[in-house]
Amino acid sequence: MSYSDKVIDHYNNPRNVGSMDKSSADVGTGLVGAPECGDVMKLQIKVNPATNVIEEAKFKTFGCGSAIASSSLATEWVKGKTVDEALSIKNMDIVKELSLPPVKIHCSVLAEDAIRAAIGDWKKKQESAKPVAVEAR
């Protein structure tokens, strides 16, 4: 099996590698894994509280080239989108963009999971922050 040019490009020049402060209120963290191959992927988003726009995204993935490329692409795609827009990204969009072969589809599933998990984490933080804000007033 050979990787597509786009996968190789993301693999050699991964976009947005790194991490943000997990405890920050406007950062959502998703840590997910693909047990079939033992990959693990962490994706973080930083959301503007006023607009719900994802202003920054970081990832770190330990896994194969396709998993790295999928998560790298995912961070590119979520940036500039609102949280709700980002939720509409489907794994098959990633498969198409990167021309992933069938055996690597689970990598794209992982990337979608990571986006959802990060947004889920962020949403949870917003909900638990609300009562505190009311009390502060």
Partner 1 sequence: MATQGESTHSCWSCGAMRAAHFCEACGKVQPPAPADYFAFFGLPRKLNLDVAALEKDFYELSRKLHPDLNARTDKREQEWSLEQSSLLNDAYRTLKDPIRRTQYLLQLEGVELEEQSKAATEKARATGEAKKQIVPPDLLEEVFDLNMQLEELRMHKKMGEDDPALIEEIGRQKLELEEKRQALLNELQADWKTWDGLIGREQAGQLVSEDERKQARDKMVDLLNRRNYIRNLVRDVNEALEN
DSSP, residue by residue, 112-131: HHHHHHHHHHHHHHHHHHHH
- Whether 64 is catalytic is no
102 contacts: CB under 8 Å, gap ≥ 6 = none
State the chain's maximal CA–CA distance in angstroms.
Answer: 60
Q: How far is the CB of 64 from partner 1 (least distance, A)?
A: 11
**Which of 24, 51, 90, 96 is in the footprint of partner 1 by CB under 8 A?**
90
User: How many other CB atoms sit within 10 Å of the CB of residue 67?
Assistant: 25
Task: Work out whether 125 is an interface residue with partner 1 (CB under 8 A).
Answer: no
d(CA 41, CA 58): 11
Interaction of residue 91 with partner 1, rule CB under 8 A: yes
How far is it, in rounded angstroms, from Cα 43 to Cα 28? Answer: 8
Kindly name the residue from 8, 20, 31, 37 that is annotated as catalytic.
37
Q: Is 35 in the site for partner 1 (CB under 8 A)?
A: yes
Residue 75 or 91: the one with the smaller Cβ distance to partner 1 is: 91
Shortest distance in whole angstroms from residue 135 CB to partner 1: 27
Work out which of 4, 65, 82, 120 binds partner 1, going by CB under 8 A: 120
Asked if 107 is an active-site residue, the reply is yes
What gap in Å lies between CA 63 and CA 66, rounded to an integer? 8
Known catalytic residues are 37, 107
**Interacting residues toward partner 1 by CB under 8 A:** 31-38, 40, 42, 60, 62, 87, 90-91, 105-106, 109, 112-113, 116-117, 120
